[in-house]
Amino acid sequence: MQEVYQGIFERIKRTHPLKYYWLWTPEDWTWQAVSQQKIDATLADFRAVIAAAEKVQAPFTLATCGWVLGPQQDRALFDNFLPKNMPMSCINREVGHAPVEPGFEKVTGRPKWAIPWLEDDPAMIVPQLWVGRMRKDAVDARKYGCTGLMGIHWRTRILGPNVSALAKAAWDQSAFAAAATAVPQKLPEGPEGGNYAAFPNNKIEGTKDQPLYQTVRWDVAAYRLDVHNGKYTVTLKFCEPHYNQPQKRVFGVKLQGKTVIESLDVFAKVGKNKALDHTFPDIEVR
């Protein structure tokens, strides 16, 4: 594979000037578990690219990007393996509705570029006014130590307010710094983001409450419940009604900001269409 990259880089040298060559990881890393085999294959590809660039004395810089910064196990994983002169970057998740990747904060000693969405492709027939989001993403990028800030988009003129907001926020955030530190408004109850599906024909084993496990939500960022201050026992009820093999859906859980579950694979734990409960006592709400 190294020889293929050497050929690509030699052609680039002879045909056009280039400052950066971007290495993108797969889009399905956004929603699927990434096995160690895939991680090893990706690192092997990175090594081949790096060796090829050194062999032909490529006049450009290599960089990484993707729909996520790194695999679910550790978003900053590649920082441990790649030369420090290689920038690392990623676009925001959920077509821009998710915030800047917090994993940037763990990446040190190298350039790192945040890439918010100026617009999302499912809504390109309507105006998309995301000035406030652009400012917030710029503030978060700075907070995580990012050295670059760019926006992903398709259209041009109609995005003028968004482009202007992101461009200005990259240089000066003083105009809205007060708003960024203001007391946050109370957020509504319920789930934040995610997808919903029902499996009414699936028979769920290990429970007498079939309907509860036949409706599921995934890729959810948070649940907000309006409860009084105090200590509670929290029971989380899981089920895998869709996939037929492990490593297809792996996730973690935080309660009140504290990690209580890491890398849970429901199918690997109990199989398909089986109830799985996790109970946590003394969860304090303040």
What secondary structure does DSSP assign to 214-258, as a single string? Answer: HEEEES--EEE----SEEEEEEEEE---S-SSTTSS-EEEEETTE
Judged against a pLDDT cut of 90, whether residue 127 lies above it is answered with: yes
* Statement: residue 272 has pLDDT above 60: yes
If pLDDT is split at 50, 70 and 90, which confidence band does 120 have?
very high
**pLDDT value at residue 178:** 58
Reduced to 3 DSSP states, what percent helix, strand and coil does the chain have, rounded to the nearest 5? Answer: 35, 25, 40
Assigned domain for 148 exists = yes
Mean pLDDT lowest among 46-60, 61-75, 208-222, 268-282: 208-222
Residue after which a domain boundary falls, among 143, 162, 180 = 180
Nearest Cα neighbor of 274 from 243, 232, 230, 234 is: 243
Task: Say how many domains are in the chain.
Answer: 2
Whether residues 237 and 112 fall in one domain: no
Per-residue DSSP letter, 189: S
Distance, CA of 94 to CA of 268 (rounded, Å):
26
Question: Taking 80 as the threshold, does the pLDDT of residue 82 lie above it?
Answer: yes
Looking at residues 211-229, what average pLDDT do you find?
A: 91
Both 124 and 32 in one domain: the answer is yes
Looking at the chain, the whole-number percentage of residues with pLDDT higher than 70 is 97
Average pLDDT for residues 87-104, to the nearest whole number?
95
pLDDT value of position 72: 87
C-alpha to C-alpha distances, 121 to 30, 125, 138, 145, nearest whole angstrom: 17, 9, 21, 28
Are 174 and 66 in the same domain? yes
Residue 212 shares a structural domain with residue 134: no
Question: Please, which residues have CB within 8 angstroms of residue 212's CB and are 6 or more apart in sequence?
Answer: 237
Confidence (pLDDT) at 195: 85
Residue 241 sits in a domain of what CATH number?
2.60.120.430
Least confident of 70-74, 176-180, 210-214: 176-180
Residues in CB range of 226: below 8 A, 6 or more apart: 189
CATH number at residue 151: 3.20.20
Higher pLDDT, 193 or 214: 214
Residue 277 tokens, joined: 């409960």
As separate numbers, helices (DSSP H) first and strands (DSSP E) second, the chain gives 7, 13
Q: Is residue 196 part of a domain?
A: yes
Question: For residue range 3-13, what is the model confidence (pLDDT) as tens digits?
Answer: 999 999 999 99
- Asked if residue 199 is part of any domain, the answer here is yes
Q: 209 lies in which domain range?
A: 190-285
Q: What is the pLDDT of residue 182?
A: 60
6-32 per-position pLDDT tens digit: 999 999 999 999 999 999 999 999 888
3-state secondary structure of 73: coil
What is the per-residue pLDDT across 132-172, written as a single tens digit (0 to 9) for each?
999 999 999 999 999 999 999 999 999 999 999 999 999 99
pLDDT score at 184: 66
**Statement to judge: residues 49 and 137 lie in one domain:** yes
> pLDDT of 174-192, one tens digit each?
887 555 556 667 778 998 8
> Same structural domain for residues 114 and 256?
no
